[in-house]
Amino acid sequence: MITTILNYLANSGAITYIVLALLSIYLIVTIWIFLYRYFAVTALIRNEVSSLEGLTSREARFSSLSALNKCTNNLASKELLYACEINIIKDASSGISWLAIISSTSPFIGLFGTVIGILESFAKFANQSKVAFSIIAPAISEALVATAAGIFVAIFAYTFHQILSRKIYELNIYLKAQSQILIAKG
C-alpha cells in the first residue's frame, strides 16, 4: 500500500502535487470547522434546552447560561428577542458556508488534477506510433486518483455541512420557543 502511494507520488507531476496539497488543506479545514462548530453549537443547544425547561417549569426562570438571556439582559421585548435570535444564529452558523464551498469545489479540483494527469500521460505516449491499452490504463488510473481525492473531501464537507445545519436549525427552534414563552408572559 505504502509503496503504491510512493510510486504514485514519484510518477506524478507538479499539478498533481498542487491538487493533492490543496485537497489535503480542504480536508483539514473541513474537519477543523466541523469539530469547532459542532462542539460550540452543541453547548449552545444544551444551554437553551436547560433554559427552555426552566421557563416551562413551575419556577418559570430564565437560565443565566442562555445566550438569549445574555443578549436581552432580562428585557424581553418582541423586537429585541427577534434581533437576539438572529444574532445568535448568525454567530452559530459562522464558517458553515465554507463547508458548502469546499463540498462543491473539491470534486472540480480533483477533476482538474485528473485532466492534467491524463494530458501528461498522453504527452508521454505522443512519440510512439502504437501504444497498447495495457500501457495507457495504468497512467489513466493514476490520474483518476485526484478525482477520487476530490470526491472523498466533498463527501465529508457535505456531510458535516448537513449535520451542522441540522444542529443550527435545532438551536433556532429552542430560541424561538423561549422567545414565544417570554412574549406570552409579557
Q: What is the pLDDT of residues 102-156, one digit of tens each?
A: 999 999 999 998 898 888 888 877 777 777 777 777 778 778 888 999 999 999 9
Instruction: Quote the pLDDT of residue 143.
Output: 80
Cβ atoms of 146 and 16 closer than 8 Å: yes
pLDDT of 41 strictly over 90: yes
Instruction: Quote the pLDDT of residue 132.
Output: 76
User: Which three cell numbers mark 60?
Assistant: 418559570
Confidence of residue 45 (pLDDT cuts 50, 70, 90): very high
pLDDT of 168 strictly over 70: yes
Confidence of residue 1 (pLDDT cuts 50, 70, 90): low
Close Cβ partners of 186 (under 8 Å, ≥ 6 residues apart)? none
Residue 107: which of 64, 155, 54 has the closest Cα?
Answer: 155
Instruction: Quote the pLDDT of residue 88.
Output: 92
Instruction: Quote the pLDDT of residue 126.
Output: 76
pTM for this prediction:
0.85
Domain layout of the chain by residue ranges: 14-185
Close Cβ partners of 39 (under 8 Å, ≥ 6 residues apart)? none
pLDDT of 5 strictly over 70: no
Residue 178: which of 69, 97, 96, 16 has the closest Cα?
Answer: 69
C-alpha 126, offset from chain centre: 42
C-alpha 59, offset from chain centre: 40
- Separation in Å, CA 17 to CA 12, 31, 57, 92, 143: 7, 21, 59, 35, 12
Q: What's 143's DSSP letter?
A: H
- Separation in Å, CA 102 to CA 27, 38, 96, 143: 9, 17, 10, 21
Task: Report the chain's terminal Cα–Cα distance, integer Å.
Answer: 67
Instruction: Quote the pLDDT of residue 152.
Output: 95
Close Cβ partners of 22 (under 8 Å, ≥ 6 residues apart)? 109
Instruction: Quote the pLDDT of residue 102.
Output: 96
Cβ atoms of 29 and 102 closer than 8 Å: yes
